[in-house]
Amino acid sequence: MSFPKNFLWGGATAANQCEGAWNEDGKGDSICDHNRAGSRTANTHRTFDLEIDTDQYYYPSHTGIDSYHRYKEDIALFAEMGFKVYRMSIAWSRIFPNGDEETPNEAGLQFYDEVFDELAKYGIEPLVTISHFELPFHLGKTYDGFLDKRTISFYENYATTLFERYKDKVKYWLTFNEINFGTMDHGKRINGLFNREYTETEQYQALHNVFLASAKAVVAGHKINPDFKIGCMLAYITMYPKTCRPEDVLKTQQINEKFNFFCGDVQVKGQYPYFMKRYFEKNNIQVEITEEDKALLKAGTVDYYTFSYYMTTCITDDLEKRNDKTGGNLFGGVSNEYLETSDWGWQIDPIGLRYTLNQIYSRYEVPLMVVENGLGAFDEVEANGSINDDYRIDYFKQHIIEMEKAIDDGVDLIGYTPWGCIDLISAGTGEMSKRYGFIYVDRDDEGNGTLDRSRKKSFYWYKQVIESNGENL
């Protein structure tokens, strides 16, 4: 079997990692604009400043790759590769600078009108993430973000504004990026909990409010345009037991349920899974979940399921083995001796993608889309300007082969948008040198460079993959 005729090939980015123009045309500061650059060694720990101090520090999101001013050139390059779909996010604070205004900033709305019109010129379907780590800073500072129920209404107002405005231009939507980072460190970019330490109850309450906001958006969106496809988005980090010791297998199941299954269950099935209810009871976590909330979660289930897939990890309950941690991992996962790792320590596992697609599809049986996948790597520009990123081509080739096998297994996979189709700022480390793109951007970790775009070898390769609908790898 091969890829379906209407398969959505494309690429993915997020506003805060490429737009720049952080305070132009009325945009307010988002939570991301307070993150300084980090480094590969510091990995996921970037300094977060309550007060932005641009005289002293460099904040990568403030300029990004300047796509706010260069989007036409970028979209033309995507079109040249033959993209059918382009996943992007809308910067919430461009539309509602503080987040709690009643009326939107017209200049922000106008900007995305122009982006969608440009995509339409080339017949590229937009896929819009409504919230991709871009909570308006003010909502975190003043309301403790989603811990406060009022933030649900602010989000609903924001989402409804987008649905009304773009109802004839955008069909595919995602409510929250990587919602399952919810209660972890990355989660503060979603829920805005950064003013102090929060109890576990508060963290799960904020996540619950995020679920409610998502469900409200789904309900409102379907009313505005019944043809909308509104999905969820999870960071899927597939887990294998380190050994076949039953203790390891059981531990893997427990961590996997909480990280990979919990949020999807709520958003696809419309209810909390039994294991989370027990987890709350056993740990005295008192999340307020009313009957009305339960009805809303049921009414606001998503139309399709999307996820990011970069790596797999191994789990053990044997504490001694935990010293053998892998990069980018967030749950004390350990290494897999059968896999190679990226320069940032992420374990590369193409077969794991087939396994993952089947794991998710067997649980939900709704259409799936892989909306992030890719290799963050150092690229070298040759003297003649060419960039021969064969390692990236090889990574994608292996993953596409396994997606095709998953389709052959019977999985309803509808699209694939590799992450950072154009080089952009890394979310985890704030680096520019962690490159994912088919398109190279001349910019370094300190913010120097022309910002000029150029085609990597993988650009021509991906073009031919799309042209042949995945046949010509």
Residues serving a catalytic function are 178, 372
Minimum distance between the CB of residue 293 and ligand P53, rounded to whole angstroms?
27
Of positions 37, 289, 353, 427, contacts ligand P53 by CB under 6 A = 427
Q: Does 178 bind ligand P53 (CB under 6 A)?
A: yes
Name the residue nearer to ligand P53 (CB basis): 18 or 287. 18
Secondary structure string (H, E, C) spanning the chain: CCCCCCCEEEEECCHHHHCCCCCCCCCCCEHHHHECCCCCCCCCCCCECCCCCCCCCCCHHHCCCCHHHHHHHHHHHHHHHCCCEEEEECCHHHHCCCCCCCCCCHHHHHHHHHHHHHHHHCCCEEEEECCCCCCEHHHHHHHCHHHCCHHHHHHHHHHHHHHHHCCCCCCEEECCCCHHHCCCHHHHHHHCCCCCCCCHHHHHHHHHHHHHHHHHHHHHHHHHCCCCEEEEEEECCEEEECCCCHHHHHHHHHHHHHHHHHHHHHHHHCCCCHHHHHHHHHCCCCCCCCHHHHHHHHHCCCCEEEEECCCEEEECCCHHHHHCECCCCCCCCECCCCCEECCCCCEECHHHHHHHHHHHHHHHCCCEEEEECCCCECCCCCCCCCCCCHHHHHHHHHHHHHHHHHHHHCCCEEEECCECCECCCCCCCCCCCCECCCEEECCCCCCCCCCCEEECHHHHHHHHHHHCCCCCC
Name the residue nearer to ligand P53 (CB basis): 236 or 459. 236
Name the residue nearer to ligand P53 (CB basis): 154 or 419. 419
Name the residue nearer to ligand P53 (CB basis): 233 or 465. 233
For ligand P53, which stretch binds (CB under 6 A), given 52-60, 197-205, 248-256, 426-434? 426-434
Name the residue nearer to ligand P53 (CB basis): 126 or 430. 430
Minimum distance between the CB of residue 140 and ligand P53, rounded to whole angstroms?
18
For ligand P53, which stretch binds (CB under 6 A), given 93-101, 217-225, 254-262, 428-436? 428-436
Q: Does 176 bind ligand P53 (CB under 6 A)?
A: no
Binding positions for ligand P53, 305-364, rule CB under 6 A:
308, 310, 328
Q: How many CB atoms lie within 10 A of CB 311?
A: 24
Of positions 87, 141, 208, 434, contacts ligand P53 by CB under 6 A = 434
Tell me phi and psi for residue 12, to 5 degrees. Answer: -135, 145
* C-alpha torsion sign, points 437, 441, 442, 448: negative
Residue 377, burial from CB neighbour count under 10 angstroms (0-12, 13-18, 19+):
middle
Q: What is the per-residue binding string for ligand P53 in 291-310, x denoting contact by CB under 6 A?
A: -----------------x-x
Minimum distance between the CB of residue 251 and ligand P53, rounded to whole angstroms?
20
Q: How many CB atoms lie within 10 A of CB 125?
A: 19
Minimum distance between the CB of residue 419 and ligand P53, rounded to whole angstroms?
5
Q: Does 14 bind ligand P53 (CB under 6 A)?
A: yes
Of positions 32, 52, 235, 393, contacts ligand P53 by CB under 6 A = 235
Question: Residue 412: which region, alpha, beta or left (left: phi > 0; alpha: psi -120 to 50)?
Answer: beta
Amino acid identity at 76: A
Of positions 35, 61, 177, 336, contacts ligand P53 by CB under 6 A = 177
Of positions 163, 419, 440, 461, contacts ligand P53 by CB under 6 A = 419
Minimum distance between the CB of residue 186 and ligand P53, rounded to whole angstroms?
6
Binding positions for ligand P53, 17-56, rule CB under 6 A:
17, 44
Name the residue nearer to ligand P53 (CB basis): 256 or 426. 426
Minimum distance between the CB of residue 61 and ligand P53, rounded to whole angstroms?
11
Q: Give the number of residues in contact with ligand P53, rule: CB under 6 A.
A: 18
Largest CA distance in the chain: 65
Minimum distance between the CB of residue 294 and ligand P53, rounded to whole angstroms?
29
For ligand P53, which stretch binds (CB under 6 A), given 192-200, 209-217, 274-282, 423-431? 423-431
Name the residue nearer to ligand P53 (CB basis): 14 or 406. 14
Binding positions for ligand P53, 242-301, rule CB under 6 A:
none
- Dist CA 382 CA 392 (whole Å): 16
Name the residue nearer to ligand P53 (CB basis): 174 or 296. 174
Minimum distance between the CB of residue 253 and ligand P53, rounded to whole angstroms?
21
Q: Does 91 bind ligand P53 (CB under 6 A)?
A: no
Minimum distance between the CB of residue 311 and ligand P53, rounded to whole angstroms?
8
Q: Does 445 bind ligand P53 (CB under 6 A)?
A: no
Binding positions for ligand P53, 181-210, rule CB under 6 A:
186
Name the residue nearer to ligand P53 (CB basis): 4 or 345. 345
Q: Between 67-81 and 457-467, two packed helices, what is the crossing angle to 10 degrees?
A: 50
**Interacting residues toward ligand P53 by CB under 6 A:** 14, 17, 44, 177-178, 186, 235, 308, 310, 328, 372, 376, 419, 426-429, 434
